[in-house]
Amino acid sequence: MVHTDAWWRDAVIYQVYPRSFADSDGDGMGDLPGITGRLHHLKELGIDAVWLSPFYPSPQHDAGYDVADYRGVDPRFGALGDADKLIAEAHGLGIKVIVDLVPNHTSNEHEWFRAALAAGPGSPERERYIFRSGDQPPNSWKSVFGGSAWERLPDGDWYLHLFDVSQPDLNWDNPEVRAEFLDVLRFWLDRGVDGFRVDVAHGLVKEANLTDWTTASTILGGLDPAGPPPPMWDQEGVHEIYRSWRKVLDEYPGGRILVAEAWVAPASRLARYVRPDEMHQAFNFPYLDAPWKPAELRAVIDETLAANNEVGATTTWVLSNHDVVRHASRLGFPAGTPRMPGIGAEDPQPDSALGLRRARAATLLMLGLPGSAYLYQGEELGLPEHTTMPDEFREDPAWERSGHAERGRDGCRVPLPWEADAPSYGFGPADASWLPQPATWAEYALDRQQGVPGSTWELYRSALELRREHGLGSGSVVWQDGGFAFRNGDVLVLTNFGPDAVALPAGARVLLSSEPLDGDGRVPTDVTVWAAL
């Protein structure tokens, strides 16, 4: 029987970054029991599902995106029973659970890679990865995190790692690799997960002859739609893999989903990942990267809606995640400033009041759009990036591998503040946190915002409630004349990007607004309003 429960088409999915959500045992590192203990807050917030970044056994060279065992839980985060408990409790609250799947590479501590090292050149064990012999690196590919994408072993062989040296790329031409991941999917589906966020979904298949490519492999910065297609990304062969996965998911009841992390442009190319027999959703990174400018935003919205309509898929929206500077800080730079790979104390600093004001307006705009929206933990608190973290705390491999050219992603991964006056702001029972929390974070703590009219938490909560009530997720965008405004069902969504306050249409009844309106009931600059028509 084929199951087609489409809960995900308009779902709001909240990304939990397990290292930094909540720490139950006071070791300064978040864990699964910590997440379970705070799920009721997410219920109160009104989300439909959580996506958990990796919690599998891992040496943590890339914060868990270097997986040593796909069927377990790292002792830092708990045990398999804690994952079962989290899934059960989330389901009890009506929250779906999506887990992260990392199929492009394993950790160098995975048993397959250990076996490949031990077995030596030419062995079938090395066929599970991309090994080549020779005096020189097999080609000019660069690692996404900086430096060469090839590492040489003492026995003379080279192996490919598009990311850190501790993340060897798997060989997806090998049937053993394909079979293994089908089995991993079943392992977690049998435990009740509702889907998988597929890491680097556009990278699994490499062009057969590994053609040279001298451009830096900046996937996290997006691809150049005008340039030639890179030989390591978005190869035709990836689609057949996802078709085979989709068949497995469709055997399970309840609508289990695949969501692609694919930095692919243009939108029509990305939409190929969400054709009816492939994945269900793909992250809309062009939307995340769009500048705070009305014409550009409108173009991305139209383009992505059209491209997804073409294949019958739902569109997703996202503003923040664990790989990018948080939008409350990104938007505190002049509109159009290119997204930077991390911010340090010596870098230009964002205007935090402007950033938060625009972030709240941006979120209300996003949640007014039809489709599915992804939230990143902490944005519901208006949390900024840690932009002055001392460099000695940085753990992102990009910092070292780029020769300190890129500060990396630690600034968006700082443990959450829950209670203003508790040690580690209530992140855990001890005053411990794996990355330092800024001294100014008390004001962002959840307990300072719950029940406080106008707080960012209350703004998100009200928005999610109204979004559901008015069916915005399953609606449509009908642009209105003059200014940046669209109708979605019976709701008008208006954002004022201009310098002067603007009036709402006569008879419009304000449902929610990202900041107070002015004394004449007009919408000030950098404010989004939802109004009933």
Query: Looking at 163, 233, 242, 245, which residue binds ligand GLC (CB under 6 A)?
Result: 163
Cα–Cα distance between 243 and 67 in angstroms, integer?
24
Please give the torsion angle defined by the CA atoms of residues 390, 392, 393 and 395, in that order, rounded to the nearest 10 degrees.
Answer: 130
Query: Between 221 and 426, whose beta carbon lies closer to ligand GLC?
Result: 221
Query: Looking at 31, 74, 199, 278, which residue binds ligand GLC (CB under 6 A)?
Result: 199
Which secondary structure element, helix H or strand E, spans residue 243, and what is its range? helix 238-250
Rg of the chain over CA atoms, in angstroms?
A: 23
Cα–Cα distance between 357 and 497 in angstroms, integer?
12
Report whether the peptide linkage leading into residue 229 is cis, meaning its omega lies within 30 degrees of zero.
no
Minimum distance between the CB of residue 528 and ligand GLC, rounded to whole angstroms?
28
Q: Checking DSSP bridges between strand 478-479 and strand 49-52, what pairing results, if any?
A: unpaired
Query: Between 200 and 502, whose beta carbon lies closer to ligand GLC?
Result: 200
Query: Between 65 and 427, whose beta carbon lies closer to ligand GLC?
Result: 65
Q: Which residues pair with 509 in a beta bridge?
A: 532
Catalytic option among 176, 183, 236, 251: 251
Residues in the chain: 533
Residue 200 binding ligand GLC, by CB under 6 A? yes
The residues in 330-359 that bind ligand GLC, with binding defined as CB under 6 A, are none
Residue 301 binding ligand GLC, by CB under 6 A? no
Query: Between 318 and 365, whose beta carbon lies closer to ligand GLC?
Result: 318
Minimum distance between the CB of residue 288 and ligand GLC, rounded to whole angstroms?
12
523 neighbors 508 (Cβ within 8 angstroms): no
Residue type, 469: E
Closest CB to ligand GLC: residue number: 65
The residues in 216-255 that bind ligand GLC, with binding defined as CB under 6 A, are 220
DSSP state for residue 340 in the 8-state scheme: P
287 neighbors 302 (Cβ within 8 angstroms): no
Minimum distance between the CB of residue 160 and ligand GLC, rounded to whole angstroms?
14
Q: In 185-216, which positions are buried (b, 16+ CB within 10 angstroms) versus exposed (e)?
A: beebbeebbbbbbbbbbbbbbbeeebeebeee
Residue 62 binding ligand GLC, by CB under 6 A? yes
Query: Between 19 and 322, whose beta carbon lies closer to ligand GLC?
Result: 322
Residue 260 binding ligand GLC, by CB under 6 A? no
Minimum distance between the CB of residue 403 and ligand GLC, rounded to whole angstroms?
18
Report whether the peptide linkage leading into residue 266 is cis, meaning its omega lies within 30 degrees of zero.
yes
Assess whether 251 carries a catalytic annotation: yes
Contacts of residue 142, Cβ cutoff 8 Å, sequence gap at least 6: 148, 149, 213, 214, 215, 216, 217
Contacts with ligand GLC by CB under 6 A: the residue count is 10
Cα–Cα distance between 182 and 184 in angstroms, integer?
6
Query: Between 65 and 129, whose beta carbon lies closer to ligand GLC?
Result: 65
Catalytic option among 48, 199, 379, 515: 199
Residue 410 binding ligand GLC, by CB under 6 A? no
DSSP state for residue 490 in the 8-state scheme: T
Cα–Cα distance between 19 and 4 in angstroms, integer?
33
Minimum distance between the CB of residue 167 and ligand GLC, rounded to whole angstroms?
6
Query: Between 301 and 398, whose beta carbon lies closer to ligand GLC?
Result: 398
Assess whether 236 carries a catalytic annotation: no
Residue 265: phi, psi to the nearest 5?
-135, 160
Query: Between 162 and 493, whose beta carbon lies closer to ligand GLC?
Result: 162
Query: Between 65 and 484, whose beta carbon lies closer to ligand GLC?
Result: 65
Minimum distance between the CB of residue 78 and ligand GLC, rounded to whole angstroms?
21
Q: What is the residue whose two structure tokens read 């009305």?
A: 294
Minimum distance between the CB of residue 357 and ligand GLC, rounded to whole angstroms?
28
Query: Looking at 65, 273, 427, 530, which residue binds ligand GLC (CB under 6 A)?
Result: 65
* DSSP alpha helix (H) spans, 251-367: 267-270, 285-289, 294-311, 327-330, 352-367
The residues in 86-115 that bind ligand GLC, with binding defined as CB under 6 A, are 102
Minimum distance between the CB of residue 497 and ligand GLC, rounded to whole angstroms?
30
Residue 55: phi, psi to the nearest 5?
-125, 15
Residue 323 binding ligand GLC, by CB under 6 A? yes
Residue type, 240: E
Q: SS3 sequence, 12-46?
A: EEEEECHHHHCCCCCCCCCCHHHHHHCHHHHHHHC
Minimum distance between the CB of residue 52 and ligand GLC, rounded to whole angstroms?
13
Residue 149 binding ligand GLC, by CB under 6 A? no
Enumerate the active-site residues: 199, 251
Interface ranges with ligand GLC (CB under 6 A): 62, 65, 102, 163, 199-200, 220, 261, 322-323
